């Protein structure tokens, strides 16, 4: 199939475009949220930058939507309405916002576009009304078991930890520093230690390219995932693929993803801090739990499983739209 999608979430797109399709990414000279294109990513040759104005003649087979504004944008560019005239699915990456669990999804009042949640938790908590829904769990490109754990430190990947605050569990970091050093990777954390009043033991490493990030994470002995409200961080799944032991808040989808034997998971922060300290002191135990984490990640979040599931969903979307077109013609 020839699939139109915008480059919105780089980590998710990195896995999605590894399938057996042609992927058209709108690209503009100034980039930005509506024209990022490949953005220099090392993606397969089947991923092509396209000028938005050329899409009318691109013979697109399906649209993968990730923002509600893309429905009108796609119709304007293609001359066809997603879900009605051309197969379309909407990928809901996020946990609901606002009055949880009564948050109504913006596509709840339509039946033409399938809403694809990335976790079962999200499907449960979003009120999607009449909209058809399904779940395609995450998949990641396996970086391999790179874990060495040579540095007795905890690693966390948190983008915008100061701005997002309690959502990302940033306020919990000082407690984990009491177990041992915490190195935070990601964007927007340059003043993190000062903001939290932590004099030592908390370092913001910065936003690194994927390959370097994986290598640096794997040198730390423990992966820390303190996020309170997230679908399921791809960085957590990647850390498990790296064979890192993980210490995780037991919220949203994490209890499904992380077996306790893979490190530690729960809502008792003091107990999690104690387990983090134990793993930092015991490299052999950390390595043992990391291998369990990798096994669990490969079993549920492998790239082949992810791509096969998406092939099913795309085929269903094509059949759904075909049925709607036939129904309208027969009226």
- Both tokens assigned to 272: 């999690």
C-beta of residue 42 within 8 angstroms of C-beta of residue 60: no
pLDDT band at residue 327 using 50, 70 and 90 as cut-offs: low
Residues 124-154: tens digit of each pLDDT: 999 999 999 999 999 999 999 999 999 999 9
* % the chain with pLDDT above 70: 98
Tell me which residue has tokens 């944008």: 73
Domains parsed from the chain with CATH numbers: 2-139+303-330 (3.40.50), 151-300 (3.40.50.2000)
Residues 50-98: tens digit of each pLDDT: 999 999 999 999 999 999 999 999 999 999 999 999 999 999 999 998 8
Q: Where are the beta strands (DSSP E) in the chain?
A: 2-4, 22-26, 47-50, 62-65, 88-92, 114-117, 133-135, 151-157, 182-185, 202-206, 220-225, 246-249, 263-266
Residues 223-262: tens digit of each pLDDT: 999 999 999 999 999 999 999 999 999 999 999 999 999 9
* % the chain with pLDDT above 90: 95
- Both tokens assigned to 181: 């050093």
């Amino acid at each position: 199939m020839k699939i139109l999608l915008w480059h919105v979430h780089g980590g998710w797109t990195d896995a999605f475009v590894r399938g057996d399709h042609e992927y058209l990414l709108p690209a503009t000279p100034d980039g930005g949220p509506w024209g990022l294109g490949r953005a220099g990513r090392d993606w397969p040759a089947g991923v092509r930058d396209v000028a938005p104005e050329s899409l009318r003649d691109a013979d697109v087979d399906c649209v993968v939507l990730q923002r509600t504004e893309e429905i009108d944008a796609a119709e304007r560019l293609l001359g066809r309405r997603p879900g009605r005239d051309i197969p379309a699915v909407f990928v809901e990456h996020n946990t609901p916002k606002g009055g949880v669990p009564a948050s109504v999804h913006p596509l709840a009042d339509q039946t033409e576009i399938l809403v694809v949640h990335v976790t079962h938790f999200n499907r449960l908590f979003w009120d999607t009304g009449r909209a058809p829904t399904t779940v395609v769990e995450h998949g990641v490109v396996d970086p391999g078991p790179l874990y060495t754990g040579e540095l007795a430190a905890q690693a966390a990947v948190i983008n915008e930890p100061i701005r997002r605050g309690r959502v990302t569990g940033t306020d919990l970091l000082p407690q984990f520093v009491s177990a041992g050093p915490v190195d935070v990777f990601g964007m927007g954390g340059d003043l993190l230690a000062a903001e939290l009043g932590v004099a030592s033991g908390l370092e913001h490493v910065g936003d690194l390219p994927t390959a370097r990030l994986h290598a640096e994470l794997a040198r730390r002995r423990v992966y820390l995932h303190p996020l309170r409200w997230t679908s399921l961080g791809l960085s957590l799944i990647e850390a498990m693929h790296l064979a890192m032991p993980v210490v995780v808040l037991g919220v949203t989808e994490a209890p499904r993803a992380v077996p306790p034997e893979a490190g530690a998971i729960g809502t008792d922060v003091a107990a999690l801090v104690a387990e983090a300290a134990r793993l930092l002191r015991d490299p052999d135990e950390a390595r043992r739990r990391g291998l369990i984490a990798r096994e669990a990640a490969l079993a549920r979040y492998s790239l082949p499983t992810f791509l096969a599931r998406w092939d099913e969903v795309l085929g269903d979307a094509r059949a759904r739209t075909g049925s709607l077109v036939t129904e309208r013609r027969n009226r």
